[in-house]
């Protein structure tokens, strides 16, 4: 995948060259457990990834050794905790190659990051007749916030179509851009298809008509190097839990001039400069958007997840998952009655499929009895499923700790499910 993604950058010095990641399974304690008496084969990584010991330990250590509220304390522990929190912001900045750490706002995850932009930027900048352009493959969290904005402002949601293989129709996308387009919101990588969108190119075209661009990076950051300056986007959102970090923490990158011009979206402690009953004034970004006591332990553990990712080497991970995707594609294509949904040329490690005569939910349940964890359903992409004329798919999604034995277990379990349904 590293070769196909736009906005990719070289690894930091010290990252090792591409090599097998077999030993890394041992970094994830949960992978040693059994499920229903079977070895756990975890292939639901697009929903959430498992956590390495380093991340689990970082969160526990924070509570054991460093816990105090941040920013407001004069005592040593509060300053120490603040330092850890802000060091994680710097790690996120480096992960995304943002120009400055003030461009990183901590949020609960991708969903909250997108909603922040919808509430703060969109509601103040859009008016009736303005257009928001998304694509058919967006996750509900990159659809519904914009529908809410449209309902409030009179703006109009436009949707760029995709082809049968699941690639964005670039000509149609370009044709939908115009003087009314104020915002483009697009996934970097589709969670349901694995399609990698040419985000730098999309940003270029969108900027040419004066639109602001938000990239939903939920499915990208753990799988490829991301460079927001190379992509050129105005906003970039991601979730820590899909990046081997904890749940309940993520971040929004926003260009500094944009963030500084945006009003707060939640009021409370830590986001103000002064408060009086007559009027209050706001802190600069990013504090302006971090009202109340944040998920400090989550932020610290997210920093540990980024350290872990970099120690393995993001380009090694990308190469490994790319090879495993090719292996998995061959294995699944060999199964009669199996139809892959999402076969675009540039793809990340997602295998979405249907099987003749077996509902995805039934398949997921049968696979579960064999310890194989996949996801079945619409994957929070109901309009996309409608586009393919199906209620949902079964989806196996890869992470750095998966290997050929996991894919073999998946393929074997699918064949046994088929035998079961055929009464063999």
The angle subtended at Cα 267 by Cα 262 and Cα 273, nearest 5°, is: 75
Contacting ligand PMP (CB under 6 A), which of 93, 139, 316, 322?
Answer: 139
Q: Is 375 in the site for ligand PMP (CB under 6 A)?
A: no
Judged by CB under 6 A, the chain residues 66 through 95 that form the site for ligand PMP are: none
Contacting ligand PMP (CB under 6 A), which of 2, 49, 88, 111?
Answer: 111
Cβ 109 to ligand PMP shortest distance, Å:
3
Each residue 329-368 as x (binds ligand PMP by CB under 6 A) or -, in order, gives ----------------------------------------
DSSP result, 110-130: HHHHHHHIIIIIIHHH--TT-
CB of 149 closer than 8 Å to CB of 183: no
Nearest CA to 245 among 89, 49, 61? 49
Q: Is 216 in the site for ligand PMP (CB under 6 A)?
A: yes
Q: Which is nearer to ligand PMP, 217 or 313 (CB)?
A: 217
Q: Which is nearer to ligand PMP, 184 or 417 (CB)?
A: 184
Q: Is 397 in the site for ligand PMP (CB under 6 A)?
A: no
Structure-block tokens of residue 267: 């009021």
Structure-block tokens of residue 35: 């499920």
The stretch among 213-221, 264-272, 281-289, 398-406 that binds ligand PMP (CB under 6 A) is 213-221
Structure-block tokens of residue 211: 């639109």
The stretch among 36-44, 119-127, 136-144, 342-350 that binds ligand PMP (CB under 6 A) is 136-144
Helices (H), 350-403: 360-369, 382-388
Cis peptide before 113 (omega within 30 of 0): no
Q: Is 120 in the site for ligand PMP (CB under 6 A)?
A: no
Contacting ligand PMP (CB under 6 A), which of 45, 239, 352, 418?
Answer: 239
Helices (H), 334-402: 360-369, 382-388
Contacting ligand PMP (CB under 6 A), which of 98, 143, 218, 221?
Answer: 218
Nearest CA to 43 among 406, 413, 408? 406
Q: Which is nearer to ligand PMP, 88 or 219 (CB)?
A: 219
Number of amino acids touching ligand PMP (CB under 6 A):
14
Burial of 189 (0-12, 13-18, 19+ CB in 10 A): buried
Active site amino acids: 380
**Residue 363 forms beta bridges with which residues?**
none
Nearest CA to 213 among 229, 236, 197, 191? 236
Contacts with ligand PMP by CB under 6 A lie at 46, 109-111, 139, 141-142, 187, 191, 216, 218-219, 239, 380
């Amino acid at each position: 995948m590293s070769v196909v993604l736009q906005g990719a950058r070289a690894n930091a010095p010290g990252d090792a060259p591409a090599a097998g990641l077999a030993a890394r399974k041992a970094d994830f304690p949960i992978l040693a457990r059994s499920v229903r008496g079977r070895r756990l084969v975890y292939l639901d990584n697009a929903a959430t990834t498992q956590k390495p010991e380093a991340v689990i330990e970082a969160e526990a250590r924070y509570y054991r050794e460093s816990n105090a509220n941040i920013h407001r304390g004069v005592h040593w522990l509060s300053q120490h905790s603040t330092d850890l929190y802000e060091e994680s912001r710097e790690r996120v900045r480096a992960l995304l190659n943002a120009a400055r750490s003030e461009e990183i706002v901590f949020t609960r995850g991708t969903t909250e990051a997108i909603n922040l932009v919808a509430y703060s930027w969109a509601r103040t900048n859009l008016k009736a007749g303005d257009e928001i352009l998304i694509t058919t493959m967006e996750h509900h969290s990159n659809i519904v916030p914009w529908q809410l904005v449209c309902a409030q402002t009179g703006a109009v949601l436009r949707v760029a179509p995709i082809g049968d293989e699941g690639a964005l129709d670039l000509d149609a996308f370009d044709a939908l851009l115009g003087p009314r387009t104020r915002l483009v919101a697009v996934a970097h990588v589709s969670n349901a298809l694995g399609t990698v969108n040419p985000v730098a190119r999309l940003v270029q075209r969108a900027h040419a008509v004066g639109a602001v661009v938000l990239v939903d990076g939920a499915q990208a950051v753990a799988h490829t190097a991301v460079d927001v300056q190379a992509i050129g986007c105005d906003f970039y959102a991601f979730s820590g839990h899909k990046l081997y970090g904890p749940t309940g923490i993520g971040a929004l990158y926003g260009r500094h001039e944009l963030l500084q011009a945006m009003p707060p979206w939640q009021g409370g402690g830590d986001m103000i400069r002064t408060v009086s009953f007559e009027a209050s004034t706001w802190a600069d970004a990013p504090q302006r958007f971090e009202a109340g006591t944040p998920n400090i332990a989550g932020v610290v553990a997210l920093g540990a997840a980024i350290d872990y990712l970099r120690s393995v080497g993001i380009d090694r991970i990308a190469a490994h998952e790319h090879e495993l995707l090719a292996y998995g594609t061959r294995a699944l294509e060999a199964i009669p009655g199996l139809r892959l949904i999402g076969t675009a040329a540039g793809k990340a490690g997602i295998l979405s499929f249907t099987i003749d005569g077996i509902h995805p939910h039934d398949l997921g349940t049968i696979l579960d009895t064999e310890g194989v964890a996949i996801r079945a359903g619409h994957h929070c992409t109901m309009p996309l499923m409608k586009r393919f004329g199906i209620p949902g798919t079964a989806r196996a999604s890869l992470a750095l700790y998966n290997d050929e034995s996991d894919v073999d277990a998946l393929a074997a379990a699918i064949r046994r499910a088929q035998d079961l349904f055929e009464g063999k």
